[in-house]
Structure 1
Amino acid sequence: MENAKKQFSLPSIFKLKPKADSKNDDKASKFPIGISYLYLAIPMYIFTFGWLKLPFALIMAVVLTFGLFKAWRDAPQIEITLFERRNIGKLLILIVLAMIWVYLSGIGGFAFQNYDHMWRNAVLEKLVTQEWPVIITETGAYFDKPAALIYYFALWLPAACFGKIFGLSAAHTFLYWWCVIGVSLVFILLSALNKKISIWLILGFVFFSGLDAVGDFVLHNSTNYIWFANNHLENWAFGFQMSSLTTQLFWVFNQAIPAWLITLLLLCQKDNRSVIFIYSFSFLSCTLPAIGMLPILACIGISRIARTYDRTKAFKENGKPILKEALSFQNLVTGVLTALISYLFLKSNSTGNSGFRMTEIKKLMMSYLIFVLLEFLVYYFAIYKTQKNNPLFWTSLVTLLIVPMISFGPHVDFVMRASIPSLIVLYTLIADSMKKNTEAGDKKADIIIAVLLIAGGFTAYHEISRSVGTTIEHSSNDEVTIIANEIDLYEDGARGNFFGEYQDSAFFKYLAKN
């Protein structure tokens, strides 16, 4: 029909029904989406009353509560009945997998902790033992003035609250369970996008990685890393690095879990009513991933508009409902205010590391080409046939190609962290492609993807193997697994990552507690 309404159509994996409309959907629920909102909002409540002056805290709490209520009311229903008898067993397995994965990561100190936990334990220790805002008044060689703890520490705040009452050890235990809840929600949202609970889908998520073992072999001629071992594989390409999902959890869980959850929540939305609200929580929890999330957010927002735009109507007629949807209370008021307060807080660090700069790609061109090919391009080639018309395919691909060209600070942190949202999108596209290949009877395409996933899985295997082996070794020698707080964040050489002189900042002048 010539005048038929033309709509933009996303792949099936990105469509959630707005409400139950059949007998089979009677048990569909907004609950997992709503609980995910609450999980992200709780640290913001704590930050509000812990860092802001009481009048501002009360205003922010009211705005946050009303926005949370509106977002929950507008939340999409997931298309899987989690608590139906046939899914209860799978749901329990999903939660147990989350418990095991988080346990092996070292969170909570029950298993071996990688080197980065030293600083993360120190952040939690400062949050538990110091008054909020955390201010160090002593001056030294690095700081001429008092300095404040200014960091994206949202994930630690619930555990820090618990620790202030029951002690630091209890805070570590609480942090473990808080992360288990977060990972379980990630698994549930991933299942919602897949429209069913699949243990294979979850295991694929745990082991998802670029082909680091192949890259290490190509550049370093080492066969030891290809086979079963416990080496850290991902730093094989000089000047570039992306992390497997297991590595993200085992090394930078405070950024990874919120970034995974926020990205999946954005993919779950049926409209634009809450996208800014959801995104705003990324500032205080995963700042660098938040930057890499911006293209994904824009793609999702524009795609939702294109899907509902009626070309048979005038632009003005289309514009009004589009603006009404995008300028919802939770977006325009709660989301903007949450992002603004978080930004002002993070911006108040006037003595942090060096800022953004362009990577010297010309000097690293061959390393860059091999890196992008083995880290993600091989997957995009494998799913091109089924995803080439999906804007998220191109948006995530371009983002992953660009982030290695940007550097922040002295290391490769930006490419490792800013790539996280696009890697999550890539995995959902892979899952969708495998489903479509199966439905079309294209076994060859599925086999190719499976081989790539298995080859990439060596990276996660090495991380897990190191955790299991070292934990057993420590236990047999009666050694503690948790890395002791051997450093003081204020005195350590990396203190500029965590503390900064703050006196001239707007946040501490006008908003923060004295």
Structure 2
Amino acid sequence: MSNSKAKTKTRSPLSFLKKISLSESTGSKIPVGLSYLYLAIPMYIFMFGWLKLPLAIIMTALLSGGLYKALKNAPAMEVTFFARKQLPKLIMVVLIAAAWVYLSGIGGYSYQNQDHMWRNAVLAKLVSNDWPVIITETGEYFSRPVALIYYFALWLPAACVGKMFGMAAAQTFLFWWCVAGVSLLFMLISGLNKKISPWLLIAFIFFSGLDAVGYFILHNSADHIWLDVNHIENWAYGFQMSSFCTQLFWVYNQAIPAWIITALLLCQKDNRSVIFIYSFSFLACSLPAIGMLPVLCCIGITRIVKTYDKKKPFKENLQGLCKEAFTFQNVFTGVPMALVSYLFFKANTSGTVGFRKTDMERLRMTYLIFILLEFLVYYFAIYKTHKREPLYWVTLATLLIVPMISFGYHVDFVMRTSIPSLVVLFVMVTDSIEKNKVSGDKRANLIIIALLLVGGITAYHEIGRSVRRTAEHCENPDTVIDNPEIDLYEDGARRNFFGEYQDSLFFKYFAKKN
């Protein structure tokens, strides 16, 4: 029995929440360190592209100092990724990432879903305009000049390439930049699970709620579910949570940073860099940053509770906790970066539909079916193995609450804010499979695998649509696989991207002049 427990602990990707160890394992720090750099590079570009030079120099110094401290304190994973025997698996990870990104339409190499039209236009504006991007024309929607105010961090490296070599080069670089981000995510997830397994990565790609079942129940029809390639995730009117595949294929600019940041938070073995990591989310994935806050607080508080030594005086414990939390990277890098990013977004004073309650009186029954099929079935399946995990209850509460809140004109809030909790849910599901293997609970694993297979129908639709439309283009080049080029400012959705900025604190005192 003792051997069984030891094995279970070894396999658990969330074991640091049960027993914190400040000692580093003998594995590799490289995936975590590269992930820090991946998130930091767009911030460096933003600082020199948008801030006045003196402030840009100060912020760059703070970010560099925080990055150095965070890299020094980076947790080592128990998987040695770059050992000779692991290289074939590592190459397969990159190939899977490249294939997935290729099918998403990023870069324009395969079929692009409708949302790519606006995302291509954001990149085009960043490439063709001086920074900050200011539009002085006025008209029907705006009576004063406006600025591009959007969570565009992921595009900034590609935009730099585009300014030097043109839009085609920007699209090519964006493709490989996203491949790098997905590869890093796969490495982080492998590190959390303490093994490199192609099946684990495929499970992430196909992880989803039971949209096919919901579509069948509410529409009383199986049309377009099993063998077609339609978008089936909008089956519940007023609510929607997106599979990881849908997130990449439609809103990759938010999804990739949100996945990486959430995975990095789960990888940490102390609180020394958690605020530093979280601060990257403001400019990269604003709505997921809201849903990430409960995860951050749960991880931080849990570690504080676990490290509190009752045998020591309160003052000594407090000093130790403060020393761990109030680090250079958290206080002098994370807080300023979060503040600058917040002021940038607050500069959008053009007005929009803000936060409001979802009409639960009218949608109560739809809500109950929605939460059951989107995530509750997974929480029931892993209850036995994770009921004592604080993150189990915090992410469950988050996913129950976010559908009750609306922001803007559509269901973007629930779709995007749920991303971090869904990442944590996936890690717990894969952890449960490993624990059930150790305990010999085949029935529990069969249930989980059945849920994964039914949920995977959603990703099958997304991938199948891309394959079919791309193949049609190869047979008939007149068949369009990418979206028409639009001028972002001339498009009807311009209020999502531009704001009248002139009275804002950021553009008055922080932003450089064109």
TM-score range, shorter chain: over 0.9
CA distance in structure 2 between the aligned counterparts of 1:429 and 1:14, rounded to whole angstroms: 8
Maintained 8 Å contact 1:217/1:225: no
Q: Find the counterpart in structure 1 of residue 448 from structure 2.
A: 449
Counterpart-to-counterpart distance in 1, 2:127 and 2:426 = 36
- Structure 1 position 394, deviation (Å): 0.3
User: Matches of residues 171-210 of structure 1 in structure 2 within 5 Å?
Assistant: 171-210=170-209
1:295/1:60 CA distance change after superposition, 3 Å: same
Q: Please give the per-residue CA displacement for 1:129-149, whole angstroms capped at 9, x wherever unaligned.
A: 000000000111110000000
Q: Are 1:509 and 2:508 an aligned pair?
A: yes
Aligned to 1:484: 484
Contact 1:18 1:77 (8 Å CA) reproduced: no
Deviation at 1:481, TM superposition (A): 2.7
- Deviation of the 1:408 alpha carbon: 0.3
Asked whether the 8 Å contact 2:212–2:225 carries over to 1, the reply is yes
Report matched runs for 1:91-130 at 5 Å: 91-130=90-129
Which residue does the alignment assign to 1:471?
A: 470
Q: CA RMSD in A?
A: 1.3
Once the 2 structures are TM-superposed, how far is the Cα of residue 442 of structure 1 from its aligned partner?
Answer: 0.4
2:318 corresponds in structure 1 to 319
Secondary structure of the residue aligned to 2:13 is: helix
Q: Partners in 1 of 2:204 and 2:82 — Cα distance?
A: 22
Q: Is the 8 A contact 1:352 1:499 kept in 2?
A: no
2:241 aligned with 1:238: no
Q: Say if 2:264 is the partner of 1:265.
A: yes
Equivalent pairs counted in the alignment come to 500
Match of 1:4 in 2: none
3-state secondary structure, aligned to 2:281? coil
Q: Deviation digits for residues 143-176 of structure 1, max 9, x if unmatched?
A: 0000000000000000000000000011000000
Given that 1:15 and 1:193 are in contact with CA atoms closer than 8 Å, whether structure 2 keeps it comes out as: no
The separation in 1 between residues aligned to 2:177 and 2:98, in whole angstroms, is 11
Inter-partner Cα distance in structure 2 for 1:316 and 1:18: 21
Q: Aligned runs of 1:31-430 on 2, under 5 Å?
A: 31-430=30-429
Offset of residue 317 of structure 1:
1.5
Provide the rounded CA distance (Å) in 1 between the counterparts of 2:30 and 2:352.
41
Distance 1:267 1:184, change over 3 A: same
Partner of 1:5: none
Structure-2 change in CA distance of 1:111 and 1:32 (3 Å): same
Q: Partner amino acid for 2:12?
A: S
Q: Deviation digits for residues 307-344 of structure 1, max 9, x if unmatched?
A: 21112222221111101111000001100000000000
* TM-score normalised by length of structure 1: 0.96
* Contact map agreement 2:11 2:435 (CA 8 A) in 1: no
Which amino acid in the other structure matches residue 200 of structure 2?
Answer: L
Aligned-partner Cα distance in 2 for 1:51–1:30: 32
Distance in 2, matches of 1:249 and 1:370, equals: 25
| 1:484 to partner: Cα distance | 2.6
Structure 2: 5+ residue runs without aligned partners?
Answer: 1-8
CA distance in 1, matches of 2:320, 2:221: 59
Asked whether the 8 Å contact 1:246–1:460 carries over to 2, the reply is yes
Q: CA contact under 8 A between 2:353 and 2:409: conserved in structure 1?
A: yes
Measured in 1, the distance between the counterparts of 2:489 and 2:15 equals 48
SS of 1:407 mapped into structure 2: strand
Aligned partners of 1:155 and 1:429: how far apart in 2?
27
Task: Quote how far apart the aligned CAs of 1:402 are.
Answer: 0.2
Deviation at 1:196, TM superposition (A): 0.4
For 1:32, what is the secondary structure of its paired residue? helix
Give the SS at the match of 1:283: helix
Whole-Å separation in 1 of the counterparts to 2:389 and 2:224: 36
Aligned equivalents of 2:484 and 2:167: distance in 1?
A: 12
In the TM superposition, what is the alpha-carbon distance from 1:362 to its structure 2 partner? 1.4
Local SS of the residue matching 1:13: coil
Find the aligned partners of 2:35 and 2:379 in 1 and give their Cα distance. 29
Sequence identity of aligned pairs in percent? Answer: 66
Amino acid in the other structure paired with 2:342: Y
Structure 2: how far apart are the matches of 1:10 and 1:435?
10
Deviations 1:173-200 (A, max 9, x none): 0000000000000000000000000111
- Provide the rounded CA distance (Å) in 2 between the counterparts of 1:199 and 1:439: 20
CA distance in 2: counterparts of 1:489 and 1:49, whole angstroms: 23
Counterpart AA for 1:290: A
Q: SS at the partner of 1:357?
A: strand
Deviation at 1:474, TM superposition (A): 1.3
The two structures have a TM-score, normalised by structure 2, of 0.96
Deviation at 1:451, TM superposition (A): 0.0
Q: Deviations over 1:434-454 (max 9, x none)?
A: 100000000000000000000
Output the CA distance in 2 between the equivalents of 1:172 and 1:481: 15
Tell me the equivalent position of 2:4: none
Distance across 1 between alignment mates of 2:467 and 2:408: 32
CA shift for structure 1 position 68: 0.2
Change (3 A) 1:319 1:69: same
Specify every segment of 5 or more residues in structure 1 that has no aligned partner in the other structure, as ranges: 1-8
Q: Could you tell me how far 1:10 is from its partner in structure 2? A: 11
Deviation at 1:11, TM superposition (A): 8.5
Contact persistence 2:268–2:274 (CA under 8 A): yes
The one-letter code sitting in structure 1 at the alignment partner of 2:458 is T
Runs of 4+ in 1 over 3 A off after TM superposition: 15-21
The C-alpha deviation readout for 1:336-355, integer Å capped at 9, x for no partner, is 00000000001100114211
Question: Post-superposition shift, 1:285?
Answer: 0.4
Q: For 2:240 and 2:24, how far apart are their aligned partners in 1?
A: 44
